Amino acid sequence: MVEAPRASGAQPLVRRVWQALETVMDPEIPVVSIVELGIVRHVGLREDGRVHVGITPTYSGCPATEWIHRSIREALFGQGLAGVVLETVLWPAWTTEWLSEEGRRKLEAYGIAVERTPSGQIACPRCASQAVERLSEFGSTPCKAHYRCSACLEPFDTFKCI
């Protein structure tokens, strides 16, 4: 099931779940919530009477997934929302298109490049130079690659899937 993240937000219970999810920060980028990151695919009340939450990891082998699931359960439990069913949604794969505007802004302020230029080039999140050099397949986490800007010499990470 794929639906716009907030399409089912009319029910008060579902809205409360969204509010709790907005307090769960990404373990690797603690400035953005998992909602801003766009990894919450759906929240819905199902026929079994339980709320189902679908989460797409930013990278299929992401070791942070377990941590995120635990944090979600804690946040929901803190709001008196027990018995929520967490589903991992691997398809379609997460892309930076799913970032909220606010999430995008926060990531760039944090020094993580999220946009490619129209020509498909990665640009430095600080000075927008396209003269960048890939230093490592792995950045601060396995989900990211590490680059350095040849113009301003700043190192930065990018999401691998952009």
Our finding on whether 131 is near Zn ion (CB under 5 A) is no
135 touches Zn ion by CB under 5 A: no
Q: Quick one: which of 2, 135, 152, 161 contacts Zn ion (CB under 5 A)?
A: 152
Q: Which residues pair with 52 in a beta bridge?
A: 44, 85
Contact between 6 and Zn ion (CB under 5 A)?
A: no
Measured from the CB of residue 50, what is the shortest distance to Zn ion in angstroms? Answer: 48
Distance CA 72, CA 23 (A): 9
Contact status: 124 vs Zn ion (CB under 5 A): yes
* 126: contact with Zn ion by CB under 5 A: yes
127 is an interface residue for Zn ion by CB under 5 A: yes
Nearest distance, CB of residue 99 and Zn ion, angstroms = 21
DSSP 8-state assignment for residue 89: -
